[in-house]
Amino acid sequence: MAMPTLLITAYAKAPQNTGMYENYKYAGIVLEIQKESHIIINAEFTFLTKLAQDFFKRMIVGYDFSKDINPLIDHITTDFLAPSQQSVIVALKIAHQRYKDSLEERRKK
């Protein structure tokens, strides 16, 4: 039986000399997305603090991942002022491309 959601993961190298690098070596993102609506319904990130994890979860849950993610990236650039900002953006872009590719594959079937 097919699931109504899918799970996408993506990673980008964490900046050196940060807690994220020392603990994980990468910035990771895991997104659960509703297949029909394309809405992100759950999200997890490889941040050290629960506050950062919660902040990003609130920022991204509810976003239509089939749309352009530049508004979301602008929000991250404006509201997440940390050394790992670019790593998070790169991981998000990778996840978005992976999602777009999966949509294209599903349309071909």
C-alpha 100/C-alpha 74 separation (Å) is: 20
Q: In this structure, are residues 12 and 87 in contact, taking their beta carbons and an 8 Å threshold?
A: yes
pLDDT value at residue 49? 85
User: What beta strand segments (E) does the chain contain?
Assistant: 5-13, 26-34, 40-45
- Helix, strand, or coil here: 27? strand
pLDDT value at residue 20? 72
Range of the domain at 68: 5-108
Nearest residue to 46 via CA among 16, 7, 11: 11
59-63 CB contacts, 8 Å cutoff, 24+ apart: 60/31, 63/39
pLDDT by residue for the chain (109 residues), tens only, comes to 778 999 999 999 888 877 777 777 888 999 999 999 999 999 999 877 899 899 999 999 999 999 999 999 999 999 988 888 899 999 999 999 999 999 998 888 7
CATH number at residue 34: 3.90.1010.10
Nearest residue to 38 via CA among 64, 12, 1: 64
Domain total for the chain? 1
pLDDT value at residue 94? 97
Rg value, the chain, Cα: 14
